[in-house]
Amino acid sequence: MKNTVNPWFARIASLLLVSVLLLAGCSQTPAPAEPEGGTETDEETSVNTPEAKKDISVTVYDRGSVPAAEGTIEDNRWSKWLNEQGPANVKFVAVPRFESQQKLNVLFASSSAPDLIFEYAPHIKNPLIDQGLLMPLDDVIEEYSTTYKQMLEQYPALKKVGTKADGKIYEFARLAEVYPIHALLIREDWLKKLDLQVPQTTEDLYEVAKAFAENDPDGNGEKDTYGIAISLQSGQVVDQIFQATRWVVKDGTVTRNWDNFTAVTDFKKRLFDEGIIDKDFLNDKNGAKAKQDFVNGKVGIYPLQINWVSFAQNELTTLKKNVPDAVVTPIPYPKSPAGQFNPAFSNPVQATAVVNASTKNPDAVMKYIDFLVKPETANTLKNGIEGEHWKVGASGCPEPVSMDKRKAEVSWNGDFQMMSSTILDTKCGKLETGFNLSDPVQKEGFDMYKKAMQIYTDPSKPYVEITHPEHMPQLPEDIEAISGPMVKPIDDMFIKGILGGKGYTAEQTTKDAKDIWDKGNGKMIEDWFKQWYEQDSGNAFLAKDIYEVMEQQQSQK
Amino acid sequence: MKSTLGEKVFYGVNYFVLLLLGLSCLLPLVHILALSMSDAHAIMSGKVSFRPVGFTMESFQSLFQGTRILDSLKNSIVITVVGITLAMIVTILTAYPLARKYFIGRRFFMLAFLFTMMFGGGTIPNYLIMKALGIINTYWALWLPALVNTYNLLILRTFFLGIPEEVEDAARIDGCGEWRLLGSIILPLSLPVLATLTLFNAVGFWNSFLAVLIYINDTQLYNLTVLVQNMIQSQSVLQEVVASQMMQSDDTAQITPEGIKAAGIITLMAPMVIVYPFVQKYFVKGALLGSVKG
Amino acid sequence: MAVRPSQTDAMSETRTSNRLKPSTVRLIKQNIPLMIMFLPGLLFYIIFKYAPMGGIIIAFKDFNLRDGIFGSPWVGMDNFVQLFNQAQSLQIIRNSFMISILGLAVGFPVPIILAIMLNEVRKLWFKRVVQTLVYLPHFLSWVIVGGIVLSLFALESGTINRWLEGIIGEPYPFMYEKVSWLIIYLGSGVWKEMGFAAIIYLAALAGIDPHLYEAGSIDGANKWQQMRHITIPGISTTIILLLILSVGKVMDVGFDQIYNLQNAVVSDIANVISLYIYQIGILRGQYSLTAAMGIFENLVGLVLILLANYIARRFNQGLW
């Protein structure tokens, strides 16, 4: 027998491995999340400023979108700029955008969380606050802040949003424009062709949808059109038209809403039974099929969650390519049995940053926040350096010197702008500046947006929900434990109602859903909400606060 | 050797069924390939089936251009190659004693290892261990916890056990020690399973995603899987990056999430597909045992 | 032929060596090189498997990040009580059990059959091409496979329903009927993983001595007999090993697959543990509750593995 492998090789390899294991156990690499400080900037700037900059660590979302030539999200022209111009030595810590919860949890669990944490999701931040891992900011603001403190005085909403159940401020927030993020779009050319009116009530909506599905509005002689789409987000928009949301304020108290669910289930049920919608809507998990039908000119009414600029660039452009004569327009939500509503709005006051309770330099964190909220900082991060990236254009607003340069060097830095209150720039900070009006389709998209702003931000119509979802109160753990497991069974029940055929009425569906609720001790959740509404809702940022901001913004025009 | 009618039928059916199975796996791939090379409007309108419509490489370009794809590819290769090497060495060294019936405590160890397949500590305890070891933000945090996969270990041990005892006895009479027996008899006889486990490890390390996100802080160290997944997910987020979109439309290029996703799938899959035939080489029927014995 | 040495040999050897002192010394001497080899793996299991296992205790605690794993307050069996008091718990456990038993029954034999079929292919290029093709779906995510399933079985746009409309005039709601949904669920799982799972059997098949087949055909054994008496016994140890291991995973229905394929209409049979953990643990941060569910799931798995091994030992095929 011949030796094909040297036995010594294996022996040495294993020895190596053992020693590696041991070495790994002994070597003391410093924990990465602890501040190390940008040492190069340290010396330069300390000459200019009287007191030395302090070290802080700050999270930044990573989306993998930084061009290779620009470095990484933690180390690039903008991180350097923030270090040079800002009041602190910032070490950036990347947090993966779509796994931020897990990453933050392990960082906190191993006490290596950064000082300043940027995070949108309330369901990630609230438990951290409850567990005492985040710092109350009232004293910090009082003692060290200038700019942000001023903002708090000027815009009390910022304070309201940042304040949590114990009455202390935990979150820094920013102001944003109020605009509709849901819309009900209709094919105006189809309306004309079939000689129909814009639906005023949900019953009209059903009639129009039925006509769109049955009377061959695209004129190809085939019955291949859908009246309306209800997959995923589209279905949620329809729910909102009927105010089929779990909690509603009625007679000065919050109640669990059931009747509106009956109404919307009955509505959807008719659509399904009569073939007005795509019968596969339930399996269209991301709404891609509905979108595909819409851009192919096969859907008459398209309720959707909308990003107006990207809608013009993508869906509308593709629709125009496939069906050049198509005319799309947003229409007001029709009047439902529960009333007539405005669609969901963008969050006008959004909490975006929290501070680690064990931070060593809260003063430096505060100064850094002050620096970030300054309009000049926000403008530079958004547009780049004047002369290099932008110049003042014909409209009086910044215009890119070169689109390519902007794309390569500026446009990816959005995650550094989480403290920017763009709306404070009343002239150039609005969404409408995002449309490229020289493109005819985008011009059309722009007109749709303008119309939507008019019909959807109507102060005389109520908001559907109690407030924007980001401002809904956080349920305490024991209530959550009751509520959480019931969400899916009840949602599923209503879907079964839609697909259940003639024998299973909407009323029966609601009864069965209510049954789950009662058996699952839903009463306790109701009591909790009632109590919250009576005692704490005064401190919460509710629909009326959104409307206040909206009216304020409208009056500035 | 001539075949009977029954055998002919058997072979015919066999080829036919395999052909169908193969096709069923091929078609979706062709569709994804077509998507990755189609124009955004065609994708959104659902016009793409098995060939590109409005041929364009923009999905790939937006994936490759400017991003850190080369760096992350290099990282992926380092993670995978070193990871495989370490894991294979330790797995072999652990499996071999477990396959020796005179190894003291082997039943205990078998049970103890099997137990870990069922119960684990979860993300946070694992992270704390890595932190205590000081290997956070290094690839050791990816390699070391994956040194031995119990599933692979048990497979390897079973194969070792399957090697006829006569072969070993002969070697022992020749005066072989354990190391030589393992190195010069057992391993050469186990090439098919070693190739298989190498492939399993390769797939595992190549696809590292969550571990990279959690244990690696420095984005420069991210691998290809993380980069591509990140981009795919960013493309599908609707409302969020409004701030950077406020300025006049940056994107003149039209790309859809579906197109990017397709390009990402192809990019991530390609190396695994290229590697497989090399593994298959070791599956040639009976090549090993026959040659050793003969 | 690949036949495992029986357990009893090992046992009797240890027993006799205990009595005779010189052979104990020999045994220890014999074990030294093995122990050296074993050390890295042992360290690995201690450091990376057993040390983090302390985390299991959060199932008996009200876990919070501030106090950490050890500091969080004990709550005894509260999490388990809460878990089993929930109305749907029983249904979820039953569903998980049913779906994975069926998955095992369907999904386990297919890769074996596929490997044997590939093994019987004489044209090497054909074998390699098919082998590579069936390996591909393993690399597709369930989101993608869910899309493929839909393009086949959707009520209005699905290819199969288009055919059905042509043949019998009306489509069939495959995704909305429990039985057809279950078949699709199981089938898609098999389709996605069969090629990858077959690899290990192909490796096992490569270890069978070709002389056995020659001898077999000289004895006049036909294909079927050769398969029964040579091929299957040749890979039986691998089959039994993998069977025992998959029995241990019997409560574990992969999240991605069920999440992407389920819909509300079939939720009565599709609500499983992994979906529950996602909704409660990940979306709502109830770590202790989900840890408790995990413990329950794995305890069942452990019992089943031990049982399976016990049965296998009766046939001299046990793992330990």
Q: Domain limits of chain C?
A: 8-50, 86-285
pLDDT reported for residue A19? 43
Is there a single domain that holds both residue A232 and residue A278?
yes
Up-side HSE of residue A369: CA atoms within 13 Å toward CB?
A: 31
CA nearest neighbour of A473 among A523, A389, A556, A541: A541
Is residue B181 predicted with pLDDT exceeding 70?
yes
pLDDT reported for residue A203? 96
> What mean pLDDT is reported for chain C?
85
pLDDT reported for residue A115? 97
Is there a single domain that holds both residue A77 and residue A216?
no
Segment A16-49, tens digit of pLDDT: 444 444 334 333 333 334 344 334 444 444 445 5
Is there a single domain that holds both residue A245 and residue A230?
yes
A296 touches chain B (CB under 8 A): yes
Is there a single domain that holds both residue A147 and residue A205?
no
Is there a single domain that holds both residue A392 and residue A255?
no
* Choice among A167-176, C85-94, C144-153 with the minimum mean pLDDT: C85-94
Of B6, B129, B273, the CB nearest to C47: B129
Q: Do the domain assignments include residue B261? A: no
Q: Do the domain assignments include residue A527? A: no
Cβ contact (<8 Å) for A436 and B227? Answer: no
Q: How confident is the model at residue B66 (pLDDT cuts 50, 70, 90)?
A: low
- ipTM of predicted complex: 0.87
Is residue A476 predicted with pLDDT exceeding 90?
no
Give chain A's domain count.
2
Segment A314-356, tens digit of pLDDT: 899 999 999 999 999 999 999 999 999 999 999 999 999 999 9
Cβ contact (<8 Å) for A14 and C37? Answer: yes
> What mean pLDDT is reported for chain A?
87
Chain C residues with CB under 8 Å of B24 CB are: 191
**Coil, helix or strand at residue B181:** helix
Q: How distant, in Å, are the alpha carbons of A188, A265, A335, A452, A460 from that of A340?
A: 21, 18, 4, 15, 10
Of C5, C30, C129, the CB nearest to B22: C129
Q: Any idea of the CA torsion for B242, B247, B248, B254, to the nearest 10 degrees?
A: -40
* Choice among A525-539, B185-199, B269-283, C272-286 with the minimum mean pLDDT: C272-286
What distance in Å separates the CA atoms of residue B100 and residue B191, rounded to the nearest whole number? 19
B93 touches chain C (CB under 8 A): yes
pLDDT reported for residue B285? 54
pLDDT reported for residue A39? 41
Is residue C2 predicted with pLDDT exceeding 80?
no
Q: Do the domain assignments include residue B277? A: no
Q: Nearest CA of chain A to the CA of C187: how many Å?
A: 18
Segment C117-145, tens digit of pLDDT: 998 888 889 999 999 999 999 999 898 89
Is there a single domain that holds both residue A307 and residue A365?
no
Nearest CA in chain A to C281: A484
CATH number for the domain including A244?
3.40.190.10
Mean pLDDT of B163-187: 82
Is there a single domain that holds both residue A142 and residue A194?
no
pLDDT reported for residue B247? 41
Cβ contact (<8 Å) for C34 and B97? Answer: yes
Chain A residues with CB under 8 Å of C282 CB are: 101
Chain C residues with CB under 8 Å of B147 CB are: 40-41, 44, 48
Q: Do the domain assignments include residue A526? A: no
Domain span at A152: 39-176+348-416
pLDDT reported for residue C283? 63
Q: How confident is the model at residue C14 (pLDDT cuts 50, 70, 90)?
A: very low
Instruction: For chains A and B, count residue pairs whose Cβ atoms are closer than 8 Å.
Output: 217
Of A18, A130, A283, the CB nearest to C263: A283
Q: Nearest CA of chain A to the CA of C40: how many Å?
A: 6
C46 touches chain B (CB under 8 A): no
Mean pLDDT of B174-197: 87
CB contacts under 8 A, C 271-310 vs A, are 271, 275-276, 279-280, 282-286, 289
Q: How confident is the model at residue C285 (pLDDT cuts 50, 70, 90)?
A: low
Segment A389-407, tens digit of pLDDT: 999 888 888 888 888 888 8
Q: How confident is the model at residue B174 (pLDDT cuts 50, 70, 90)?
A: confident
Q: How confident is the model at residue B163 (pLDDT cuts 50, 70, 90)?
A: confident
Segment C146-194, tens digit of pLDDT: 989 988 998 888 889 989 988 888 889 999 999 999 999 999 999 999 9
pLDDT reported for residue A50? 58
Q: Do the domain assignments include residue B140? A: yes
3-class secondary structure for A454-507? Answer: HHHCCCCCCECCCCCHHHCCCCCHHHHHHHHHHHHHHHHHHHHHHHCCCCCCHH
Q: Do the domain assignments include residue B176? A: yes
Domain span at B170: 67-236
CATH number for the domain including B99?
1.10.3720.10
Segment B99-120, tens digit of pLDDT: 988 899 988 999 999 999 888 8
Segment C207-259, tens digit of pLDDT: 888 888 888 888 887 878 888 888 898 899 899 999 998 988 888 888 889 99
Cβ contact (<8 Å) for C86 and A133? Answer: no
* Choice among A415-419, A483-487, B72-76 with the minimum mean pLDDT: A483-487
Is there a single domain that holds both residue A204 and residue A327?
yes
Of A21, A278, A481, the CB nearest to C43: A21
Give chain B's domain count.
1
Mean pLDDT of C283-288: 70
Mean pLDDT of A482-508: 90
Cβ contact (<8 Å) for C284 and A489? Answer: no
**Coil, helix or strand at residue A338:** coil
Is there a single domain that holds both residue A203 and residue A247?
yes
Cβ contact (<8 Å) for B174 and A317? Answer: no
Please list the residues that pair with C74 across neighbouring strands. C61
- Quote the longest CA-to-CA distance of chain B: 82
Q: How confident is the model at residue B2 (pLDDT cuts 50, 70, 90)?
A: low
Q: How confident is the model at residue A130 (pLDDT cuts 50, 70, 90)?
A: confident
b/e map B143-158, b = 16+ CB within 10 Å:
bbbbbbbbebbbbbbb
Is there a single domain that holds both residue A282 and residue A334?
yes
CATH of C86-285, one of 3.40.50.300, 1.10.3720.10, 3.30.1280.10, 3.40.1260.10: 1.10.3720.10
Q: Nearest CA of chain C to the CA of B242: how many Å?
A: 25
Is residue A11 predicted with pLDDT exceeding 80?
no
Is there a single domain that holds both residue A169 and residue A206?
no
Q: Is A333 exposed, middle or buried (0-12, 13-18, 19+ CB in 10 A)?
A: buried
Percent of chain C beyond pLDDT 70?
92
pLDDT reported for residue B251? 47
Q: Do the domain assignments include residue B137? A: yes
What distance in Å separates the CA atoms of residue A341 and residue A339, rounded to the nearest whole number? 7
pLDDT reported for residue C257? 92
Mean pLDDT of A78-82: 96
pLDDT reported for residue B255? 66
Cβ count near A164 (within 10 Å): 20
Q: How confident is the model at residue C292 (pLDDT cuts 50, 70, 90)?
A: confident
pLDDT reported for residue B236? 62
Is residue A253 predicted with pLDDT exceeding 70?
yes
Up-side HSE of residue B9: CA atoms within 13 Å toward CB?
A: 5
pLDDT reported for residue B237? 59
pLDDT reported for residue B188? 87
Mean pLDDT of A146-170: 93
Is there a single domain that holds both residue A404 and residue A298?
no
Of B86, B133, B247, the CB nearest to A434: B247
